[in-house]
Amino acid sequence: MPFHDHPPADVGPAGDAPTTRRAQHALGDLHDALVSARCELTEARDVEWVSSAAGSYRRLLDETLGDMERISRALADALDVVLRHTAAADAAQRAPGAVCGPYDVLFTWKP
């Protein structure tokens, strides 16, 4: 799945970046679960039921499917941002002289 091994846009492959690997894993699982849920919802929408209530039911499911479409887009948008964040964290950890988080915070904090 592209979400499982998607390299961050400008930080190179995850390689020995443990935080990025965990993020990729979570993003991939999230994407897979979303795809399965959408398949199930589409199947539930295709029920052979004819009545006025059936129309309303399909409209409700369409709304839910619409929400899921939006979530999918949001996930695609989040992919690069999250991985850039984790890659930056991994890079900071690997940097010579990196001591600990608070040290980094001291130099990057802005009021």
Partner 1 sequence: MIGGGIGVGAGSDAGAERDVAVGPTPGPDTRDIGRGLTVVGGAGGTRAKTEDLRRAAAALDEARTRLEEAADRATDLVRVIDEASIWSPATEDTARELVRRIRGPRTGLVACATRSGEHASGLRRTASAYEDAERDTGALFRGGSIALGGLVGETGPLVAAAGGVLALVGALQAASTVAAARLLSRTPTPIGFGLRWVGQAGERSSGVLGVAGWALGGRGLLPRLDWPRAAATQAVVPGLAAFLRGLAPGRAPLVGDPVRDVSGRLLTLTGGLAWLLGRPPSTVVVAPVVAPARTTADMPPRGLGDLMDQVETGYPSSGRGADPGTVSIQRLEHEDGSVSWVVSIPGTEDWSPVAGANPLDLTSDLQAVAGRMSDAAEVVRQAMVSAGIQPEEAVALVGHSLGGLVAMQVAQDPVLQERFTIRTVLTAGSPVGALTGTLPAHTKVLSIESTADQVTAGDGAANRDDPQRTTVVVDPARTDWRGSASRAWQGEDPGAAHAVSAYTGAAYQLDCLDEPSIDAFRTAQDDVLGGVRAASTQVFQGLRVPAPASTTNLSGVSGPVLGGPSPSGPPG
In the complex, the residues that contact partner 1 under the rule CB under 8 A are: 19, 22-23, 26-27, 29-30, 33-34, 36-38, 40-41, 43-45, 47-54, 56-57, 60-61, 64, 67-68, 70-71, 74-75, 77-78, 81-82, 84-86, 88-90, 92-93, 98, 100-102, 104-105, 108-110
Other beta carbons within 10 Å of 17:
23
Minimum CB separation of residue 90 from partner 1 in Å reads 8
CB count, 10 Å around CB of 53?
9
Nearer to partner 1, 13 or 26 (CB): 26
Least gap, CB of 110 to partner 1 (angstroms): 8
In this structure, how many other beta carbons lie within 10 angstroms of the beta carbon of residue 3? 19
- CA-based Rg of the chain, rounded to a whole angstrom? 20
Q: In angstroms, what is the minimal distance from the CB of 42 to partner 1?
A: 9
CA 24 – CA 77 distance, rounded (Å) = 14
**Phi-psi bin for 47: left (phi > 0), alpha (psi -120 to 50), beta?**
beta
By C-alpha distance, which of 37, 33, 46 is closest to 65?
37
The smaller minimum CB distance to partner 1, of residues 5 and 77, is found at 77
Least distance (Å) between residue 5 CB and partner 1:
16
